[in-house]
Structure formats: C-alpha cells, structure tokens
Structure 1
Amino acid sequence: MIPWLERPIIYDVRARPHLVESTSGSRDLQMVKIGLRVLTRPLPETLPTIYRTLGENYSERVLPSIVHETLKAVVAQYNASQLLTQREAVSREIRKVLTERASNFNIALDDVSITTLNFGREFTAAIEAKQVAAQD
C-alpha cells in the first residue's frame, strides 16, 4: 500500500441480515407477498475481486436483484396452498438457488428464512370462508 495514494478498504466479513420483500405470482396465479431474511457474508479470500467488480456496497448492488429473481422463479413452481403447507420445502429450494446465485458473486449465504407470506384479499377471504364452512 502506498501512503497518500491508496487507502485501506475495511470489509465486515461477519454474516449480516438482509430483509427483502417481493411480490410474485404462484402457479395458480395467486399474488403472494413474500418476505425473506437472508444472512450473507463476503468470502474473505475474494475481497479484492469483490471490490474490483462490485465495489464497497456489494450487497446492495447484488442481493436485491438475485433475491427477487429467485423468489419469482421458485414461487411460480408452487400453487398457493402448497406455499402454505410446504413452507419448509419452499424455503429449502429458495436457499439452494440463492446459494448458487450468490456464489457467482463471491458471497456466501449462511441462512435463508421466510418471514412473511401474504396472499391477496380474495384468496384470504376464500380460505376464511372455507374454514367457517368446515366448522359448521
């Protein structure tokens, strides 16, 4: 490092949470608003590459786009009832795809969890009506 010409860039290599919300369509064309908590960290041995290709704010440049794209692709494979009943399988599939996509940018994913799963008003009202009818 050359003083006055270069400055050290300090990266936090600990896992940091990122909350991302996205609206997507399920296989049966129900609109789903899904929230994810993604724990990411840069791979320490690739920090020079990350700095050269993505810059200091690498997570803000890469994560939103790959998370939204992955959510849309994975959610479209399931219908609305499967998203509710197979939440763990959906989460595993999202994690698998996101881990692969993030590794292309030298970012490690430590955890992915679905925090919220909301459907449109019509679908929610239909579920409530079905439950009321089943109770009677």
Structure 2
Amino acid sequence: MAAKLFESIGKLSLGLVLAGGVVNSTLYNVEAGHRAVIFDRFQGVQDKVVGEGTHFFIPWVQKPIIFDCRSRPHNIPVSTGSKDLQNVNITLRILFRPAIMQLPRIYTTIGEDYGERVLPSITTEILKSVVARFDAEELITQRELVSRQVSEDLSERAASFGLLLDDVSLTHLTFSKDFLDAVEMKQVAQQEAETARFFVEKAEHQKNAAIITAEGDSKAAALIANSLASAGDGLVELRKLEAAEDIAVQLARSHNVTYLPSSLLPPPR
C-alpha cells in the first residue's frame, strides 16, 4: 500500500516538473525599455508589438525577437569637402532609437542590427550634402547653423527607415594642414596690413597738423603787417612813449645814476 502511494506521489511530482518545464518554455520576458516582435513560422512577422512584462508564445511555432528601444549613442567619422574644396574631417555623435510601432518593418527590411546598417551610410550622405553648401570659414563661424541643418536633414532621412534621432551634434571638426597654414598666413598678413594702415593714418594726421599750423602762422604774420601798415607814424610815437616810460622807471629805481647804461636800456620795439 505504501509502495503504491509513493509511486503515485512520484508520478505526480514528475508530472508537475514536466508541466512546469512546459510552462516555462512557453514564457518570455520583455525588460523595461525593450519591446518584442513575434516571428510565426506560418504567418511570418506579426504586426503586433509586445510591451514590457511576461508573455506566452508557442514553442517551435513562434519566436520572440527582443529590441532595445532606449536611446543609444553612435559616433560616425566622415571625411568630405567644403564649398571651396577644402578637406574637412567631421565626427558626428548621434543618439538614436527605433520607432516602436515600426519594429516589425525594421526587423523585416533591415534586421536586428539596424543601427550599424543604416546610420553610417545615411550620415555620410547627409554630411557630404550639407558641408558642400558652406566654405571652410563658414563651417567655423556658422557651426551652429551647420549642426542644425545636419540634424534636420538626417532626422528626416532616418525617419524613412523607422529610426528616431534624439540628438545630433558635431563633436569634431578639423581641416587639412595646408588649410590651417594658409589661415595662419592670412591672419599675419591682416595684422601687418592693419599696422601699415595705422602708420599711414598717423602720417596723414601729422601732415594735416603741419598744414594747419603753417596757415595759422601765415595769417598771424599778415594781421601784424596789416596792423603796422594801418597804424603808420602813430604806432612809432606810441612805441617811443612806452620806451621813455621804461627809462623813467629805471631812473627812479637808481638814485645814484643820472644816466642809463646801454645794458639797462629797454630793447627797441
């Protein structure tokens, strides 16, 4: 009796274990930030996108494909030419993620490694197109405009593949050594030109000042000559009276001197 009881318990345990194994084999988990697409051997990829949590599927008939739908970074270096035919090396940093409702189409047309298959090619295409609209100097001075234009064009292009771009930024922008040397020489030439212009302007100001001074001296001499001509003998008499006054002052100060030496006489006017 006991042997039959143990045998029944053993069969029941075995059945529970087998049943548990079967149940476990029909379950799959979708972690946070992920989504799943179901591939059916008879119907193909289903249009339904499975959300987070634990779900059932039919073993052998169905297969869940898990996608990470969180934003991920991708750095893409590109070498291209500017509008003025300068070689430009650019590195673009992209934060991308798949559009959730387009996961079935992404899996069907591109595959699970959609980022590596799509982003490098479309990024190179867009960067070459945008950079060719600007010359080398504009790429430096209008970097924000270039970055915005790349972001808009690239986002539109990526959307056609079911990809969403959360951020696009230019992290690296360099030119060839020949161009950098040319820029340095241009800056030196501009500084030398500014210095030369300063000296030219200074000489021009000094020339104008000399002309104004000469004109002033000429006008002053003309005024004095006109005054002498118009005053005539009256001016001479006035000067004699002024000289006599000076002599009287000198005699008044010198009590023991009845005449003035020529050294004490006032200068003729």
Structures share fold, TM-score greater than 0.5: yes
User: How many matched pairs?
Assistant: 136
Is residue 37 of structure 1 aligned with residue 98 of structure 2? no
CA drift at 1:134 = 4.5
TM-score, with structure 1 as normaliser: 0.94
What's 2:159 paired with?
103
CA drift at 1:4 = 2.3
Q: How does 1:58-69 map to 2 (within 5 A)?
A: 58-69=114-125
What's 1:119 paired with?
175
2:68 to 5, 8, 12: 12
Q: Aligned equivalents of 1:24 and 1:61: distance in 2?
A: 20
Letter in 1 for 2:130: V
CA drift at 1:9 = 1.1
Q: How does 1:80-99 map to 2 (within 5 A)?
A: 80-99=136-155
User: After TM superposition, where is structure 1 displaced by more than 3 Å over at least 4 residues in a row?
Assistant: 131-136
Q: Aligned equivalents of 1:123 and 1:90: distance in 2?
A: 20
SS in 1 for 2:107: helix
Q: Aligned equivalents of 1:63 and 1:82: distance in 2?
A: 26
SS in 2 for 1:108: strand
What's 2:23 paired with?
none
More helix per residue: 2
Letter in 1 for 2:99: L
RMSD: 1.3
CA drift at 1:45 = 1.1
TM-score, with structure 2 as normaliser: 0.49
1:50 to 106, 111, 134: 106
Is residue 130 of structure 1 aligned with residue 186 of structure 2? yes
- The structure with the larger Rg is 2
Q: Aligned equivalents of 1:131 and 1:19: distance in 2?
A: 33
Which protein, 1 or 2, shows the higher relative CO under an 8 Å CA cutoff with sep ≥ 6?
A: 1
Q: Deviations over 1:83-131 (max 9, x none)?
A: 0000000000000000000000010011100011110110011122233
Q: Aligned equivalents of 1:129 and 1:106: distance in 2?
A: 48
Q: Deviations over 1:38-59 (max 9, x none)?
A: 1110011111111011100001
Query: Which stretch shifts more, 104-113 or 119-128?
Result: 119-128
Letter in 2 for 1:44: I
Identical aligned pairs, as a percentage?
A: 54
